[in-house]
Amino acid sequence: MSADDRRAAVFGLVLALLVVAVGVAGVVAGEADDSPGLQLLGGLLVIAAVAGVARAARLRRRRARARARRP
């Protein structure tokens, strides 16, 4: 893994953590204000961030396997 790949992975993880934090804050604020729409948006943000991290990890693994198979 090159330095640019590592930097991109760290940036993606930090961005995902920020999105999760905003999503959790939305869920908590929606709970306090009795707003189901805000809770839904917060939950969708959390789900999207987790799915994005999982997808990026899967793609990174595929690329690493493809590089390892090259002669």
The pLDDT tens digits for 50-60 are 999 999 989 98
Number of domains in the chain: 1
Structure tokens at 21: 């934090």
Host domain of residue 41: 3-69
Per-residue pLDDT of the chain (71 residues; tens, 9 = 90+): 678 888 988 998 999 999 999 999 999 999 998 889 999 999 999 999 999 999 998 998 898 888 888 76
For the whole prediction, is pTM greater than 0.75?
yes
DSSP at 34? T
Average pLDDT, the chain: 90
Helices (H) and strands (E) in the chain, counts: 2, 0
Which pairs from 58-66 meet CB under 8 Å and 24+ separation? 60/5, 60/9, 64/1
